[in-house]
Structure 1
Amino acid sequence: MPSLGERQHAFACALLDPERSVPEGLVGPDGRPSRKRFNVYRNNVVVGLTATLKDAFPAVARIVGEEFFLAMGRIYVAIEPPSSPIMLDYGKGFPTFLQSFEPVTSLPYLSDVARIERAWVEAYHSADIAPLEAAAFAKISAMDFPELRVTLHPSWRIVRSAFPALTIWQMNIGDAMPREVDMEAGGEDAFVLRSGTNVEIRSLPPGGADFIEALAEGFTMMEAMKRAMTDERGFDLSSCLSGLMTAHAFIAFDIATAQHSQPRQAS
């Protein structure tokens, strides 16, 4: 007699594999196994999960077409079924799946577009913390600025791509119209941040991704700037910092050299 755990495992496997028979011991209201009933239920589950994917990755769906996306989604669902009842978490591995999914190898940017969309979902559902206004930094002296450390809003995400993935994403959402993209123009780094209830995705300038990641690791402004300046394309501190403040990317700061300093929080 199979244990409860074994029966549940058999049910889960059969639910996502149309080649499997009705799990042993599973019967309908008449007390008899019914493959037809089980197939209807199985199909509803798969359809529901692929619809969840399509809602989370609308640009990817538009790029490949709805029919192809649904077929691809069914394969993903079979390979990576939900591990949590929280559907927000579902699809986290989809961008990685796309990297090795042979039918889309002709679209090498597709997994990065999916990473942007996943970052959008994560940013939207991140903790709700009020950001600092730009005026909060006005009293920082030029002498203290190099030792300034900041805390980024928890919604921040960076997606680096060797392709113009951000441009491709932007022209495949809403009412935007696809156009020809120069795939040889170089990669793009996207900065994802939620401001209030709106998630914004901005293109980062050269060195911007290195600068932000260094700040997130706890480095001072000077240390983060040095890391960003290793970018051969050049780094503009003023432009990058202005963009971050305009985006309301910071929630606290302190001065690294201050004795017993306390972080300045958003009010």
Structure 2
Amino acid sequence: MNSQEDFVAALLDPERDCPAQLTTWNGSDPAARFAVYRNNVLSSLIDALAASFPVVQQLVGEDFFRAMAALYVRQSPPRTCILADYGAGLPEFIEAFAPASSLPYLADVARLELLRIRAYHAADAAPLAADVLAKALASPDSLASLLLQLHPSCNLLESAFAVVSLWAAHQGALALAEVDPYQAQCALVLRNGLEVEVLGIRPGDALFLQTLQQGLPLGHAAQRALALDAGFDLGACLTYLLRAGAITHCAYDKQRPLP
């Protein structure tokens, strides 16, 4: 192990001694100075996780969260200098973290918060004008082959838990006491303008969107959605997506774009 690797390893492992190569300009104890630096680095990374996962922290309390986050930081230090990307492995860490086992929905709440971060940093794209889609939908012979492109920020989370309601409760939109966390929910996360939205959708709507994201046409997506959810309403779903700014482009196919 070279001196740089030794320094990094000691920085995140409190059981390691201060690297022997360290010296100070004024002759003070390097171990004492290194301990301060180690603490500052750990605290800064925990703060970054707390900023990215505020609802997770609220659900478990600050003390529990910071203790859990400290273990995660030591196990999974950042790989880049972009702290907005840090914490991608936290949901899986939570799932395996025995002290959090009494909150089985916690990992999915963390996944939802990760999707919000990704949506915030996703590329910009102008939403499709409603009249453009209306014109495309007015051609029933070509409707089944219509391709819809979704906004780059669109992401889906299908959970066995009430992640949308838990999120809303921690934004003050619902009373937490009224939320049954064990109610399965599907979440659509996207950025509408400058705001990242978390929207609850039906399972059929979620499958419809997943199929569109796979590059398959509207007809195929609608058939799959109806097979899963007899209550799927294509018109209502498209209206909902347009209002949310989730559709950015439509074409019949790659060879024949819309007029």
- TM-score interval, normalised by the smaller of the two chains: over 0.9
Q: Which of residues 49, 64, 68 in structure 2 aligns to 1:53?
A: 49
Percent of paired sites with the same residue? 41
Gaps in structure 1 of 5+ consecutive residues: none
Paired residue type of 2:144: P
Gaps in structure 2 of 5+ consecutive residues: none
- Deviates further, 189-198 or 24-33: 24-33
Partner of 2:86 in structure 1? Answer: 90
TM-score by length of 2: 0.93
Mapping of 1:30-49 within 5 angstroms? 30-31=26-27, 34-49=30-45
**3-state SS of 2:176 partner:** coil
The answer to whether 1:150 aligns with 2:148 is yes
Which deviations, in whole Å up to 9, do the C-alpha atoms of 1:66-105 show, x marking residues without a partner?
1111111101100110000111110111111111111101
Partner of 2:207 in structure 1? Answer: 210
2:78 and 2:128 map into 1 onto residues whose CA distance is 37
Partner of 2:256 in structure 1? Answer: 261
Which deviations, in whole Å up to 9, do the C-alpha atoms of 1:38-70 show, x marking residues without a partner?
010000000000000000000000000011111
Q: Which has the higher helix share?
A: 2
Paired residue type of 1:182: D
Partner of 1:248 in structure 2? Answer: 245
Mapped contact 2:105–2:181 kept (Cα < 8 A): no
Paired residue type of 1:261: R
1:64 and 1:134 map into 2 onto residues whose CA distance is 43
1:45 and 1:177 map into 2 onto residues whose CA distance is 37
**3-state SS of 1:111 partner:** helix
Which deviations, in whole Å up to 9, do the C-alpha atoms of 1:208-264 show, x marking residues without a partner?
1111010011111110011112225632222222111111111111103x8x32378
1:13 and 1:176 map into 2 onto residues whose CA distance is 44
1:244 and 1:161 map into 2 onto residues whose CA distance is 21
2:69 and 2:186 map into 1 onto residues whose CA distance is 27
**Count of residue correspondences:** 257
Mapping of 1:125-140 within 5 angstroms? 125-140=121-136
2:140 and 2:257 map into 1 onto residues whose CA distance is 19
**3-state SS of 2:203 partner:** coil
- Deviates further, 128-137 or 173-182: 173-182
- Deviates further, 148-157 or 231-240: 231-240
